Amino acid sequence: MNFSITEENYIKAIYHLQQVDENVTTNELAAELNTKAASVTDMLKKLKAKKLVNYEKYQGFRLSTEGKKIALGVIRKHRLWEFFLVEKLQFGWDEVHEVAEELEHITSKKLIEKLDAFLEYPKFDPHGDPIPDSHGRMAAQKQINLLDLPVNEPAEIVSVGSQSTELLELLKHKNLGIGTTIEVKKRFAFDHSMEVKMKGQSAFIISQQLAQALFVRTI
């Protein structure tokens, strides 16, 4: 079956919200999609009729098995295109999100399989997120939040918590990115800020908000 771009965007958004909390609410989804609760209710009826969500009035909702499959398909396309944009077209990793939001809705199955082969079956996208394979399977990222990284343990940044331009701009400014090696030197309980250090550079302070958006793997 085929789905509209809007339907795909709803499904993808529900998938992302489910990562945090299995049961998704109307207001949460409206906020995620910059739309109104009433519009969400309308769309949920459609998605329920298509058996993509399990939804009971006033009770919240979650994706059905079929819905998850659709979500993973869209995410696969999104992340493969991001990889293509960065690795082949020399885009910066902080400027590919919007373009991939459009490319992910191209329908050809053959296209995405051939693109995957052309890119030599990458496992992670430029933001460090795993790319689902054609069956929806993806590598588990055993990553922890920078807030939870013990002091003096070098770790590699593997993923960022959001794709907002504001965050990406800040990361660029501080020269932080996927693959950067970083170490926590000191924590300040008052505001949860922390002093961190990159190899060969002097230490600097990052805020709680920023630390929370960064995921690392110890090395």
Partner DNA sequence: GGTAATTTTTAGATTTGTCTAAATCTTATT
Partner DNA sequence: AATAAGATTTAGACAAATCTAAAAATTACC
With contacts defined by CB under 8 A, name the span among 34-42, 82-90, 122-130, 136-144 that binds a second copy.
82-90
| Binding track, positions 99-118, relative to a second copy; x by CB under 8 A | x--xx--xxx-xx--xx-xx
Question: Exposed (0-12), middle (13-18) or buried (19+): which is 63, by Cβ within 10 Å?
Answer: buried
CB atoms within 10 A of CB 55: 19
With contacts defined by CB under 7 A, name the span among 54-62, 93-101, 129-137, 171-179 that binds DNA.
54-62
Query: Distance of alpha carbon 105 from its chain centroid, rounded?
Result: 17
Q: Is 46 in the site for DNA (CB under 7 A)?
A: yes
Q: Which of 91, 122, 170, 217 binds a second copy (CB under 8 A)?
A: 91
Q: For the CB of residue 77, give the shortest distance to a second copy in the complex, in Å.
A: 12
Nearer to DNA, 6 or 212 (CB): 6
The one of a second copy, DNA, none whose footprint includes residue 106, by CB under 5 to 8 A per kind, is: a second copy
Distance CA 211, CA 216 (A): 10
Phi, psi of 100 (to 5 degrees): -65, -30
Q: For the CB of residue 25, give the shortest distance to DNA in the complex, in Å.
A: 3
| Binding track, positions 3-42, relative to DNA; x by CB under 7 A | -x-xx-----------------xxxx-----xxxxxxxxx
Both tokens assigned to 161: 């918590």
The one of a second copy, DNA, none whose footprint includes residue 114, by CB under 5 to 8 A per kind, is: a second copy
Distance CA 67, CA 55 (A): 12
Q: Is 85 in the site for a second copy (CB under 8 A)?
A: yes
Q: Is 151 in the site for a second copy (CB under 8 A)?
A: no
Q: Please state, in angstroms and as integers, the Cα–Cα distance from residue 109 to each residue in 52, 73, 77, 115, 134, following that order.
A: 20, 10, 10, 10, 10
In what helix (H) or strand (E) does residue 39 lie, and over which residues does it extend?
helix 37-49
Nearer to DNA, 13 or 206 (CB): 13
